[in-house]
Each structure stands twice: as C-alpha cells, then as structure tokens.
Amino acid sequence: MLEVAPGRSPAEAIAWFNDPANGHSAARVRGGLVGIPRGTHGFLHGRLSPGEYVLLCFVPDERDNKPHFMHGMQTEFTVQ
C-alpha cells in the first residue's frame, strides 16, 4: 500500500514503479501483505491519515513475470 505524496497523483506513484530510475517516488510505502496462499484471504489493519492511497499487487505473472499491477491489478482510494 502506498500513500501518495501531497501534490502528486496516484498515476505518478504507479508510474514510478514502472521506471524507478526515473526520479523520486511520488508515494511512501505504508505496508502490505506477503505470502497469501492461493484461495485464501489476507487483511491489513491500521490507521490511515487523510489522503490518496494505492494498492498494488507485486506477485509476478506466470506468462511474462511482470508484477500483476502492470496488468491492471491495482486500486486507488481516498481517506477523508
């Protein structure tokens, strides 16, 4: 989970992961989950400050080994 930096967009935060050598990240890592077995669920608990957030899946795709977020497995949300 990424917290988008003030004045930046979720799209900018995601774009940095496509090319991390290109400038500074537009987001700060706030946490995440790893090792969730297929067919099960995971939960992330915490307190979030108001702002824009992005959830990305970094599991590699079986066909091309790219992270799933590069195939659209991502979501954005706002905390008021």
The domain ranges of the chain are: 2-34+41-79
Question: Quick one: pLDDT at residue 40?
Answer: 95
CB 40, CB 21: distance < 8 Å: no
pLDDT at 38 over 80: yes
pLDDT at 17 over 90: no
Question: Average pLDDT of 53-67?
Answer: 93
Question: Average pLDDT of 25-51?
Answer: 91
Question: Quick one: pLDDT at residue 47?
Answer: 92
Q: What is the pTM for the complete model shown?
A: 0.84
Q: Which residue has the tokens 């990305």?
A: 56
* Euclidean distance between the first and the last CA atom of the chain, given in angstroms as a whole number: 17
Mean pLDDT across the chain: 91
CB 27, CB 5: distance < 8 Å: yes
